Amino acid sequence: MDQFIERSWIPILILHILLAVLFHYVREFTQLWIISSIAVGTIAVIRANDQNHEAGYWGAYLGLWDVMHRASPSAIYLPWEIGKFSLAYFMILGILITPYRKHYMWFPWLLIALLTPSALGNYSSYKDFEEFRQQFSFNVIGPIVMGLALTYFYRRFFRLRSLRSLLFFMLMPVVVLWLTLNLRMPDFSEISWKLEANFQASGGFGPNQVATMLSFGTMTLFLSYFLRLNVLRRPIIEYSLIAGFSFNSLLTFTRGGLLLNSIQLLLIYLQGVRVGLLRASRTLWTIIFLIPLLIGAFWVVDQITHGALEHRFLMGIEENTDIRYTSEEERVIKITSGRFEIIVSDLLMFIRNPLMGIGPGLSQRFRQEYNPLAPRVTAHAELTRLLAEHGVLGVVVLFFLVYIPWRFYRTIRNPYERILFTAFMSFAAFFFLHSAMRTGAIAISYALAFIQTEWPKFTLKRRAYRSHP
């Protein structure tokens, strides 16, 4: 698989550019592409016996198509969570036929055992079976798929060439999404720039989900830069995509996603310095080129939005705005877009329903009964959602989701693996708190934090890694 991608990266990239144009005009082709990719991927995995991580390639690739699918309604029916279902399918297929030793085979079963009782125990609270099925699928499948991905990727060894091919393959759905949202976006003069997440500037997609996917693409390109993988072979292409992803992320007006992505990239950079993989010259190049690039993108978007972007990020902080708050409580609600009140309501649900929780997906319906100030929306933070909807069993799930990475990180000696772990785990953790489990990108990122790879050819701090094999 990696040899095919290495030889054919230009045709693959051109194909996905053309797909974005095709999906814009004929939305049914999105579903047809997903179905055909599942079929081709299945054949590839079975024929190769998954000896070159084919299940991982196709699972990660298809797991990132969920946002495109949701924003492309058509007569061809596919489940709303087709991205997560596709990821789960390929992870199970890879686990069953892989020649590698299997780790944490019990983890997905444990998650099923911990997350199902709340749904069954609160079954009478659902209107009918259809609502039960939808809420279970939307809220419970995500953590279970994360467990399956962990089982497949845990300590799976990727050569640097294979890692580069994997990152390239995962980047393609993000490129398609980015191009499609630009094609669907109306003219800037027709967009109403308000101090809230902007659906028009997101091309009709969910702004938070778009920001999550673009942040995933930005992280992938920064990994390519820091690890010298040259995923797209030409630095100018990678820098252009970083600028493009950043530009569109700013246009969505999703503050949390942008700030968390910035912090995450800073953590990757600091880890690279810490393990001795970044030379002074490369650090200087980062400061001279990339930082002005991102600042320039912010300035351009602020000019396009007539200053609305700056107000969006500083609302509640700067005094010279037209925003007026009747109380400090309203100020907090506006600054956090209601997220603080959502968290408060989730915690109140947990306190009053500690054993079984309120039931998967039911927090939205009963939210204002517990906190009248909270908007009636689904939880944005998976951490508090697990507490509110699953009770004490959700606490157990959170314990394992934190304990397994902590235990793994203590064993890492390879500098590359430290950077990979920092990148993927920080993305999963940050957007776990920002976008819950709405996209497959979080499950994929969480699992990829546990892969192993080759040692770097050089490091500025070799003495720190005397256990070099």
In this structure, are residues 151 and 102 in contact, taking their beta carbons and an 8 Å threshold? yes
Count Cβ neighbours within 10 Å for each residue of 256-278 and write b for 16 or more, e otherwise: bbbebbeebbebbbebbbebbbb
In this structure, are residues 254 and 214 in contact, taking their beta carbons and an 8 Å threshold? no
CA–CA distance, 415 with 277 (Å, rounded to integer): 8
In angstroms, the Cα distances linking 89 to 189, 263, 341, 391, 401 are 44, 33, 37, 29, 21
The CB density around residue 322, as the number of other CB atoms within 10 Å, is: 6
pLDDT score recorded for residue 422: 92
Counting as low any pLDDT under 50, the low residues of the chain are 316-326, 460, 462-469
**Reported pTM:** 0.88
Residues 6+ apart with CB under 8 A from 393: 114, 115, 117, 118, 356, 357
CA–CA distance, 150 with 155 (Å, rounded to integer): 9
Burial of 254 (0-12, 13-18, 19+ CB in 10 A): buried
CA–CA distance, 170 with 165 (Å, rounded to integer): 9
pLDDT score recorded for residue 251: 85
pLDDT score recorded for residue 313: 73
pLDDT score recorded for residue 338: 65
Residues 6+ apart with CB under 8 A from 400: 107, 110
The CB density around residue 365, as the number of other CB atoms within 10 Å, is: 16
The CB density around residue 133, as the number of other CB atoms within 10 Å, is: 11
Query: φ and ψ at 327, to 5 degrees?
Result: -155, 165
In angstroms, the Cα distances linking 156 to 95, 100, 145 are 12, 8, 17
In this structure, are residues 385 and 140 in contact, taking their beta carbons and an 8 Å threshold? no
Residue with tokens 């976006």: 185
CA–CA distance, 74 with 306 (Å, rounded to integer): 36
Task: List own/partner pairs for 320-325 with CB under 8 A and 24 or more apart.
Answer: 323/195
Burial of 378 (0-12, 13-18, 19+ CB in 10 A): middle
Closest CA to 253 of 182, 189, 301, 188: 301
266-303 per-position pLDDT tens digit: 888 888 777 777 665 556 666 667 677 777 878 888 88
Residues 6+ apart with CB under 8 A from 79: 85, 137
pLDDT score recorded for residue 459: 52
Closest CA to 149 of 401, 455, 368: 401
Query: φ and ψ at 453, to 5 degrees?
Result: -145, -175
Strands 452-453 and 157-158: parallel
Rounded to 5°, angle at Cα 239 from 269 and 234: 110
Residues 6+ apart with CB under 8 A from 404: 104, 107, 150
In angstroms, the Cα distances linking 263 to 273, 302, 348, 430, 440 are 15, 21, 30, 9, 21
CA–CA distance, 231 with 166 (Å, rounded to integer): 9
Query: φ and ψ at 246, to 5 degrees?
Result: -65, -40
